[in-house]
Amino acid sequence: MHRHNTPLRGVKAIPHPKPGDANYSATNYDYAGRVGHIHEVVEIGGKQLAKVGFDDRKIVYYLLEDLELDQAAQRGTFHDRDS
């Protein structure tokens, strides 16, 4: 079973990347505004990046500061559901 160890794992997240941000690709903007769930948070170059999974099983990285988090929502990722 695939598991991640992070306090934010499973938190509902909606990405809101800043327009024209060079840190993001077209894929990031395609998933902007969609509901996903955090799989893990990593620090790279002093920045916190969240690995966000979406219902179509796509994983997209976003700066943690660009996510709207709903920690009150039921937690879970697609790893927690039956395939």
At residue 6, the pLDDT reads 73
Q: Are strands 67-70 and 12-15 parallel, antiparallel or unpaired?
A: antiparallel
Q: Which whole number is the average pLDDT over 16-28?
A: 96
Contact call for residues 61 and 52 (beta carbons, < 8 A): yes
At residue 50, the pLDDT reads 93
Confidence of residue 22 (pLDDT cuts 50, 70, 90): very high
How many Å apart are CA 62 and CA 69, to the nearest integer? 12
42 backbone dihedrals φ, ψ, rounded to 5° = -125, 155
Q: Which whole number is the average pLDDT over 37-55?
A: 90
Q: Which whole number is the average pLDDT over 33-62?
A: 93
> 79: burial class by Cβ within 10 Å (0-12, 13-18, 19+)?
middle
At residue 1, the pLDDT reads 41
Sorted by where each begins, the domain ranges of the chain are: 12-73
